[in-house]
A and B are shown apart, each in its own frame.
Chain A
Amino acid sequence: MLLILLFIILFHLASVVLLFISTINNAWWTKTNSTADIWQICTTNETATYCSPVPSTYGEYIQAVQATMILSTILCCIGFLSFVLQLFRLKQGERFVFTAIIQMLSSLSVMVAAAIYTDQKDAFHNNDKEGDYGYSFILAWIAFAFTFVSGVMYLILRKRK
């Protein structure tokens, strides 16, 4: 029982970490000299790195991506706190329904974020031929999988002594 508990906690923490890295790191779109993410575009030349906020040509969709990424991170953290709370409050045999709902919402959120970014890629990057998705983008999709599996696990599991 303790082993399962440990595994679930680690899984949840891993998804939180993934979400944080994906939201913060500047690697959603990489080109030879510059990297871009949902917050800023950084250009490196030999001497220094210049970062400037995302230009207004990106439109409002980038703000939706920002919002949903932040939302999923917050929900995942709240889910962890709720899991710890439910661990002590629930009666024997009951399921962690509340935590499961929060995790599912977080998973939905990050899916929406990644989906919008994938769809609007051309609008964001002016139909750039060169350049490719960075690791933050990939981590966002992996975080979606993790939070989804975590939510399902909370739905299935029952509290035992």
Chain B
Amino acid sequence: FAFQFPRLRISWGLHLRLRLLDQNLVKTAMAVKGSVAAGHFIALFCIIAVLPSATAIKIYTRNKVYGVRGEDVRLSCYFWSWEWLSDDVTLSWSFRPEGSRETISIFHYNNGVPYIPNEREFKDRVEWVGNMGWRDGSIKIKNLDFTDNGTFICEAKNPPDIVGSPSSVQLVVYEKGPVQAGVVTGAIVGAVLGLALLIVVLIYLIKCLMGRRRVPVKDISIVEKGKSGKAASGRQGQVVYASLDQSSKKFHSEKKSKGVEGSKKEKK
């Protein structure tokens, strides 16, 4: 469209110039262009309408989640639907204990309201931490116990997009969080190497500073030697410089006007 508009304008201008008085022809040209545009929109709409039947609602959860006894764990569930999010969108979580074939429902969301049944096992432990606007249907299980080992199933439906298989995440509860393998190792290695590097840098800096302090003393001794050894030549050099200076000044004063001469004489 961005490219079409300049062309339209140019052609429009041409039309105006060529058939300025022929309003009927202009009107038919507009109608043809309008119908072409409408045809584009209808085609696009057909494609969008046809797509959903080919795809279904997709639900994403993690495969395995590890929890620590007594702490909280967040079970995340994200879904994607080609349809706009309607008010009738529903999301439900159910739990199947390890080694059991029964599934109990622990959470349901419908019409913008989360329902937590507070059954005997999950009483006051389920919390809704998701956001339907972001298509996030996550819940948080608090105060974990070993009886929570099992599979949690997340299911979402967004009418008219109701075809889609639920996704399950397995929860494994540990006794206590073990010290992550390698934390202590990495800390010790890093600390010692860092300390060693710091010491080396410090020693190098100290050596540099000590070196700088000695240099001025050397310079002074060299200068003194230079003064005593080359005094005569130095004076000669001064004399040379003085004569050059005088000559240049004379040269300048001759060229410039009398008014400036006075100031120059003062400078001398």
Q: Which residues of A contact B (CB under 8 A)?
A: 53-54, 56, 60, 63-64, 66-68, 70-71, 74, 105, 109
Contacts and interface: CB of A to CB of B under 8 A. Distances in A.
B175 to A, nearest CB: 9
B189 A67 contact: yes
Contact of B189 (A53, A74, A105): A74
B189 A63 contact: no
A53 B179 CA distance: 13
Nearest to A67: B188
B185 A67 contact: yes
B240 interface: no
B183 interface: yes
Interface of B: 178-179, 181-189, 192-193, 196
Nearest to A66: B185
A151 B228 CA distance: 52
Contacts of A63: 179, 181-185, 188
A71 B193 contact: yes
Q: Is the interface of A mostly helix, strand, loop or mixed?
A: helix
Given A64-B184, A66-B185, A68-B188, A74 B193 contact: yes
Contacts of B185: 63-64, 66-67, 70
B183 to A, nearest CB: 7
Q: Which of A56, A60, A67, A70 has the most CB of B within 10 A?
A: A67
9 contacts: A53-B181, A54-B181, A63-B181, A63-B184, A63-B185, A66-B182, A67-B184, A71-B192, A109-B192
A105 B193 CA distance: 11
Contacts of B182: 63, 66
Contacts of A74: 189, 193
Contacts, number: 35
Nearest to A65: B185
Q: Is the interface of B mostly helix, strand, loop or mixed?
A: helix
Contacts of A71: 188-189, 192-193
A56 B193 contact: no
Contacts of A70: 185, 189
Contacts of A56: 178-179
Nearest to B191: A67
Contacts of B183: 63
B189 A60 contact: no
Given A60-B179, A64-B184, A67-B186, 14 more contacts: A56-B178, A60-B184, A63-B181, A63-B183, A63-B184, A63-B185, A64-B185, A64-B188, A67-B184, A67-B185, A67-B187, A67-B188, A67-B189, A74-B193
Contacts of A64: 184-185, 188
Return the 9 tightest CB-CB contacts between A and B, nearest first: A67-B188, A63-B184, A56-B178, A67-B185, A66-B185, A63-B185, A67-B189, A60-B184, A70-B189
B52 to A, nearest CB: 47
A35 to B, nearest CB: 19
A64 B185 CA distance: 6
Contacts of A53: 181
Nearest to A70: B189
B196 A105 contact: yes
